[in-house]
Amino acid sequence: MKTRNAKKTATMITAAQFDEAMMNYAAAELREVEINKVITTGVQELMTQHEAELQQLATEKQTSFEIALSYCMNNKQQLFGKRRSIGTEYGIAGFRLGTPKLKTAKNSNWKTVLVELKKTLPEYVRSIEEPAKDLLLADRNTEKVAPLLMQIGVQVVQDELFYIETKKAA
């Protein structure tokens, strides 16, 4: 596993201290991998042990939800005349308003809406201008872009990151 760190230290470290640090790092990483394997195996065993029951419960919940929904839809006037929910001994059922969203009307699409907005409500049309950083980066070495980067006030930088990559036990 690679670990990267951009911290800079000014302390004088001996070669023996460096070697010991590498050994400790590799040992800690190996132990970490072992613990994660034990955790993963335990979780998988528990999931397998309860998989059938969880599937049965999910099916039961779905069936019960559909029955409750059907009952509430069929009796919406009586049950939800004044309120949006009803309470029972076992819980609450009801209808919520979803998040408002825009949808095009019949015989319309977003292109025609945009044209009409430009005419009638231009303040509701977005026009975002921003540097195309991805294109500048991609073309940073081309004859057209490279000489102009500094002129326009842009420079390409790359941070140098320290990493440790341990050898994996077979």
List the pLDDT tens digit at each of the 170 positions of the chain.
556 655 566 589 999 999 999 999 999 999 999 999 999 999 999 999 999 999 999 999 999 999 999 999 999 999 988 888 999 999 999 999 889 899 999 999 999 999 999 999 999 999 888 999 999 999 999 999 999 888 889 999 998 888 888 787 65
User: In this structure, are residues 117 and 124 in contact, taking their beta carbons and an 8 Å threshold?
Assistant: yes
CB of 72 within 8 A of CB of 93? yes
Half-sphere exposure of 128 (CA within 13 A, CB side): 3
Query: Would you list the domain boundaries of the chain?
Result: 14-98, 102-149
Separation between Cα atoms, residue 103 and residue 92, nearest integer Å: 30
Report which secondary-structure segment, H or E, holds 162: strand 162-165
In the block, which residue shows the tokens 């929910």?
85
For CA atoms 147, 148, 151, 157, give the dihedral sign: negative
Is residue 149 within 8 A of residue 140, CB to CB? The reply is yes
Collapsing DSSP states into helix, strand and coil, what is residue 40? helix
Residue-level pLDDT at 163:
83
pTM of this prediction exceeds 0.85? no
- What is the predicted pLDDT for the residue at 165? 84
Q: Please name the residues in contact with 149: beta carbons below 8 A apart, sequence gap of 6 or more.
A: 136, 140, 155, 156
Q: What is the pLDDT of residue 129?
A: 87
Locate 89 and state its tokens: 């001994």
